């Protein structure tokens, strides 16, 4: 799965790194929240969608703000005690009732600098070592996601929400976990955002040789810890 990310770039840096996308006003409002070293579900993040925005001369791809945790447009209300899904498995996504409509026509890029994953040391679920994962180049990159626009019937608030697509792990990730987020190559960004209904071949493990990972302190487990030293390497738990 993928349940934590980090963005050490400023929002302005992300705009430059993903110059294929224009800016929507809602994304600009996030500028004072970045960098973000411990991004978690329910928080708002910048994503890139291909959509017509109701502003003059603004068309997708475009940066927008969205909340992590997908709520399908057809859902009448959220269910107490049942949080929206933060991940969608690539296997079966085109037929899964929760995700298929968004996958077919509302795919997105999720720009980040890296993500976190936990290795279950002894297979008990009680002793886990967190790792930070990034590109060897240190450059920001994009996860594959899907998004929805949902209207809260109680407040009539429009909420844009997203989730991350996952796939089987590459050789590096397989040493710590049995899933990884789908990472897209830069040359595939436009195709992922295109009207093509099922770009299934893009949802595959990213080459391990282009990635790096390192053990970090367990304080990353608390979202209250949101400082740069979260990324400092540490000795792994034996």
Residues with a known catalytic role:
2, 117
Contacts of 69 (CB under 8 A, 6+ apart): 41, 42, 83, 84, 85, 86, 161, 163
Whether the bond into 32 is cis, omega within 30 of 0: no
| 3-state class percentages of the chain: helix first, strand second, coil last, to nearest 5 | 20, 35, 50
Cβ–Cβ < 8 Å for 52, 145: no
Tokens (6 digits) for 89: 């498995």
The secondary structure of residue 205, as a DSSP letter, is P
Tokens (6 digits) for 4: 């934590």
Q: What phi, psi does 3 have (nearest 5°)?
A: -125, 0
DSSP string, 42-93: TSEEEEEE----SSTT--SSEEEEEEES---TT-SSPPTT-PPPSEEESTTT
Q: How far apart are CA 175 and CA 235, in angstroms?
A: 16
Q: How far is CA 43 from the centre of its chain?
A: 11
């Amino acid at each position: 799965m993928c349940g934590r990310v980090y963005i050490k770039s400023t929002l302005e840096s992300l705009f430059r790194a993903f110059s294929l996308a224009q800016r929507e006003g809602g994304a600009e409002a996030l500028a004072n929240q970045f960098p973000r070293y411990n991004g978690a579900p329910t928080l708002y993040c910048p994503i890139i969608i291909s959509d017509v925005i109701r502003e003059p001369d603004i068309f997708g791809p475009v940066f927008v703000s969205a909340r992590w945790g997908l709520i399908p447009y057809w859902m009448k209300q959220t269910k107490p005690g049942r949080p929206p899904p933060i991940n969608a498995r690539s296997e079966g996504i085109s037929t899964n009732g929760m995700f298929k409509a968004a996958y077919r026509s509302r795919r997105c890029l999720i720009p980040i600098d890296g993500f976190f994953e936990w290795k279950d040391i002894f297979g008990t679920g009680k002793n886990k070592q967190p790792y930070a994962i990034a590109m060897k180049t240190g450059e920001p990159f994009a996860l594959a996601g899907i998004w929805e626009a949902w209207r809260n019937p109680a407040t009539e608030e429009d909420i844009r929400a997203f989730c991350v697509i996952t796939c089987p792990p590459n050789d590096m990730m397989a040493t710590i976990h049995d899933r990884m987020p789908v990472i897209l190559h830069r040359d595939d960004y436009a195709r992922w955002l295109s009207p093509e209904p099922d770009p299934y071949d893009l949802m595959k493990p990213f080459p391990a040789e282009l990635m790096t990972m390192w053990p970090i302190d367990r304080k990353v487990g608390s979202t209250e810890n949101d400082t740069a030293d979260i990324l400092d390497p540490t000795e792994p738990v034996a």
